[in-house]
Amino acid sequence: MTPWSLRAAVRNGATGAVDAARRAIAATEPEVRAWVELVPGPAAAATTGPLGGIPLGVKDIVDVAGLPTRCGSVLRAGAAPAADDAAIVAAWRRAGAVPVGKTVTTEFAYFSPGPTANPAAPGHTPGGSSSGSAAAVAAGHVPLALGSQTAGSVTRPAAFCGIAALVMSRGRFPVDGVTGLAPSLDAHGVLAAGVDDLACAWAALTGEPDPAARAPRAPRLLLCTAGPLEPSMRAALDHAAERLRAAGMVVDALDGVDVDALTAAHPVVMAFEAARERAAELAHAGSLSVPLADLLARGAAMPEAEYRAARDRVARHGDAFAAAVDGYDAVLAAAAPGPAPYGLGATGDPVCSRPWQALGLPAVTVPGLHDDAGLPLGVQLVGRAGQDGDLLATGCRVAGVLRRRPGG
């Protein structure tokens, strides 16, 4: 099945959308395996809110009233149903979205993968940790799904599954009811088929004007090619820049920001904070995957001075980023080093998102590019903190160019 157009569903009215989602899930879930648990019985469709009853998938580290939050871990296998919605779920309900179930996450939103397949690249990983949410959107199960990002857990799955995603500015919405990993890095995310769908969802969630409806203006972008990019990704990024310039956009080179230093600081901060956030789980290290147990043990042994030094580096480079992007709308960068790796035993490398996540910046994954084998290649746009709507407006312009056939 093809992914939903959220904008078309809202425009045409969402009557019966939850039932349609249930049918779509039943048709392909045995192969996709995106869901942990569905809301039992008929879900009451929302009658208020601009989304008007659109079905929503929720990553299984985020509380939904009446469903357990198992976090992809055997330690939570017997979790009781949540008494209340997480704050972010309550916000989406007010916007008119209807949670239909919990989507697969990696273990405590780290690296140990779940069973989910990649609908856009059979046999290849859907990424992590928001793997179930990305696959549920890509498979056409739901038009919207919630994720979270601490390193690259929304951007990477969206890129691998050929869909769009928004990582919100850190702190834009509260994280009450979310099982986090590293408080200074954790951020909300949402996944949809296209950037225009994200813009529609953002307007419904926040009450802001629809970013896609803003008066057209040629964006000014900065191109970042840092990181261990595969040849196909480098070629795609260069190709995207050429097409955007041909469409009248400014695309200059990013200068004055030590992206490598930010990338190196991120895992230091992540390990130190995760060891304290998940201290109860560290006490049961034998029941954790080796990658998560190693992360928590490394963070627990880390001197606080090392952590503070990493935080200080992030702050300094954040100031440099703010200066570099003055007069520009966004940074254009790779969303992942390349296409989704083959196999389901690993989720891929989050390196392309680490520097921006360290700074708490919003990021939009833009689909539409592919390698020679037809596998999706995603690029991302990184904006200023707190300017998520502006970034989505830029993303709509960029996506409009990249989804057109060259010369079309």
The Cα–Cα gap between 134 and 139 comes to: 9
Burial (CB count <10 Å: 0-12, 13-18, 19+), residue 230: middle
The Cα–Cα gap between 217 and 330 comes to: 13
What are the start-end ranges of the E strands in 105-202?
144-149, 164-167, 187-192
Token pair recorded at residue 20: 């349609």
Token pair recorded at residue 108: 């405590």
Chain-centroid distance of CA 281 in Å reads 25
CB within 8 Å of 200: residues ≥ 6 apart? 6, 7, 10, 210, 212
Burial (CB count <10 Å: 0-12, 13-18, 19+), residue 357: buried
What are the start-end ranges of the E strands in 87-143?
97-103
> Is there a contact between 165 and 364 (Cβ–Cβ < 8 Å)?
yes
Helix (H, G, I), strand (E, B) or coil at 47: coil
Which sequence positions are flagged as catalytic?
Answer: 59, 129, 153
The Cα–Cα gap between 156 and 142 comes to: 19
